[in-house]
Each structure stands twice: as structure tokens, then as C-alpha cells.
Amino acid sequence: MTHALPAADPASAWRSVKDRMAAAARAAGRRAEDVALVAVSKQQPWDAIEPVLHAGQRVFGENRVQEALARWGGPRSALPDLELRLIGPLQTNKADDALALFDVIETLDRPGLATALAKAIQKAGKAPRLYVQVNTGEEPQKAGVAPAEADAFIAAARRDHGFEIEGLMCIPPAAEPPGPHFALLAKIAARNGVTRLSMGMSGDFETAIRFGATSVRVGSAVFGDRLTG
């Protein structure tokens, strides 16, 4: 498949996701405005993204630096309130490019990347907001620090680079109930004095909100199927 159809009406799909988020927040005794929607626009045609932008969405997630630059490099100059978040793995040699484009990097997950980002930040004279990705399921193929190493990693990032860690991020194993993974991320955040949690995707964002997500990363439920290969 080289062409996927956008959701029949991405703006109404977006509204329905926002409504479901608000209902999940209220059901958990939380305020709707305390949970942000990161609309994951990776591999989406502009035809699907534009109606969602028009509807008022301003925070978008992307998982590849070059792809994100191609999509947002132009539109971003006309959208002063746009917020772009990197939610995919970052190679150290792309740290400068990532810093130039992204307001938030959610995938800090190793000492070498922390060092590369610190250098890039010094060079650029501006710092992105940072999340540490935790591999809660300890899956070998997945990025993220191991849960047992998270405390030391966060402490080192603060001490060695002066980073302010805004939040933690996780992607639970696809084949497991996500609740225990969300609970684990919340626990690691609490004991490290980290207040934001990026967790929950199209299939489980309501569960994530119940476990304390402060932002959810939702792609296909808003935009429809992604373009592939």
C-alpha cells in the first residue's frame, strides 16, 4: 500500500478523541484540561493533518527527524503556537537537527544521547523540554532505560547536564494489558519528583488517563490509517 485514505473526517475524529479524553479524565476524578493530546502525524498525508490543524490542534508528535522536517519545516513558520514533539528514537548525530525542529524530545534514553543533547543545546543556545523514555516491558527491541536503571539515569541527567526532566514516557508491550506498565511509569516518576507522564496511544489512552497520563499520543484514532512502505 502506498496510499492510505485519511479518516473520513479527521476533524470529527479529533473531536471524538478529545471528548473521550475528557470523559476518561472526569471518570478518574481529574480535570480534562490536565491531559494534553499529542496528535501523532507520522506517515500521515497533509490532507489528513490540515483539518485537524484547522480544528485547533497545535501539539503534534513525530517519530523521525527528517520526515518531521519535511512535513513541518514549511508550515511551522506560519504557526507560531505549534508544538512539535519527538516521540521516536534519536540518533546522536541527529541531535542538532532535532533541536532545531522539536520543542519537546520524549525519548532521552541513554547517557550518550544526553551528552550529545547537552552539546547541541550549548551550540544552539536553546533547550527542548525533555522526557526520559522507560522501557517498562524490558523488551530487547525497544528503546528506553530499564526500570531498574531509571532512578540513576534521571539523577545523572540532572547532575551531569543540569537537565530539567519534564516527564517520563513509555510504550507498553503490544501483547500485554497496559495498566501495570502505566502504573510502573507513574511510580518511577513519583519517586523521582517528575510530574508529567506521556503514555497511552489510540488503543489505550483512556486507560492511561486513569493511571495519571498528563499527555496521550494518539495517531490512527485521529487521522486514520498511516501511509506505509
Ligand X SMILES: *Cc1c(COP(=O)(O)O)cnc(C)c1O
Binding site for ligand X (CB under 6 A): 40, 42, 63, 87-88, 171, 201-203, 217-221
Classify the C-alpha dihedral 60-66-67-73 as positive or negative: positive
Spatial separation of the C-alpha atoms in residues 41 and 147, rounded to whole Å: 28
Q: How far is CA 212 from the centre of its chain?
A: 15
Q: Which is nearer to ligand X, 25 or 198 (CB)?
A: 198
By beta-carbon distance, which residue lies closest to ligand X? 219
3-state secondary structure of 36: strand
Q: Which is nearer to ligand X, 48 or 161 (CB)?
A: 48
Give the DSSP H/E element, type plus range, for residue 157. Answer: helix 150-161
- Cβ 221 to ligand X, closest distance in Å? 6
- Cβ 87 to ligand X, closest distance in Å? 4
- Cβ 40 to ligand X, closest distance in Å? 4
- Cβ 77 to ligand X, closest distance in Å? 26
Task: Say how many CA atoms lie within 13 Å of 72 toward its Cβ.
Answer: 34
Q: Which is nearer to ligand X, 153 or 223 (CB)?
A: 223
Query: If 0-12 CB within 10 Å is exposed, 13-18 middle and 19+ buried, where does residue 135 land?
Result: buried
Q: Which is nearer to ligand X, 192 or 202 (CB)?
A: 202
Q: Which is nearer to ligand X, 147 or 219 (CB)?
A: 219
- Cβ 100 to ligand X, closest distance in Å? 21
